[in-house]
Amino acid sequence: MVLKDLAGTIAAAAGSKVIFESPNPLEEAGYSRATKARLNGDKLRALGWEPLYDLQTGVERTMRILRDV
């Protein structure tokens, strides 16, 4: 999963939409160019960790908890 997909999953759970904007020249100084970054839990699983929920369910549960606070 790429970060763009994670942002879309979180936005959908929040009833929102992600808008991606390119940085202007001033913002580029601190802009991350990690466009191919991928989320991977293999190292965590190698340590014995197993997720209780899939990503979408976990995000939805977290959003529900945050709304109730």
Query: Which pLDDT belongs to residue 33?
Result: 66
Query: Which residues, in sequence order, are CB contacts of 1 under 8 Å at separation 6+?
Result: 38, 39, 55
Classify burial at 11, counting beta carbons within 10 Å of its beta carbon; exposed 0-12, middle 13-18, buried 19 or more.
middle
pLDDT digits (tens, 9 = 90+) for 1-58: 788 889 999 999 999 999 888 777 877 777 666 666 778 889 999 999 999 999 999 9
pTM of the predicted model as reported, rounded to 2 decimal places = 0.65
Helix H or strand E segment including 63: helix 55-68
